[in-house]
Structure 1
Amino acid sequence: MRTRRDHDRFMDLIARVCFLRQHQKKEETEDGISFIRCDLEDYSIAYKIMVEGVLSSTMRELPAGVQILYEQMRALARSEAEKQELSVTEISMTQRQIRE
């Protein structure tokens, strides 16, 4: 169910990006109805917004702050592993090391 809602949100986002870029597009007519088509550029912009932007936090399981902390801990583990000439999985850290 969640995936379906996210897909619907993404499709709406593509349509909104297309609407905002409407003056950059050629208007088409079919059966007496004028319209503009969403294109790959609209998709690309919407994708960047969804994945890298504000909406990405709703798709992730971890909040942004927790994810930043996790990435910093991974970097610390990699640097300690290099210093001690061990694999990353052999490294342990104390809470004090993480806070510093």
Structure 2
Amino acid sequence: MVDEVERVFTVPLTVTKVVPRTKRAPRAIKEIKEYVLRHMADKSADKDDEKGKKKDVWIDSKLNELLWARGIENPPSKVRIKAIRFEDGLIEVSLPDE
């Protein structure tokens, strides 16, 4: 079994523009978690088990600061992230090293 899987994504956050202004940055965080779970799901998981939970996604503090840098009302419209899925199912999301 593969120990860890690493991928780089560009996550669109345009859905945050349709929620109320005071809920946009928290919605951006939820959207990143949902996107990562959708694209990094473990294909070998049993159908009876839940494939992924939002609590299994860990967001790095630097990514969180980037989302909140312009305040709660104006998160970025897209963000580039690096996601690593570990063997135990935990997914770590951070900014890509450039």
With the shorter chain as reference, the TM-score category is 0.3 to 0.5
Larger Rg: 1
TM-score (norm 1): 0.35
Say which structure is richer in helix.
1
* Larger RCO, structure (CA 8 Å, separation 6 or more): 2
Say which structure is richer in strand.
2
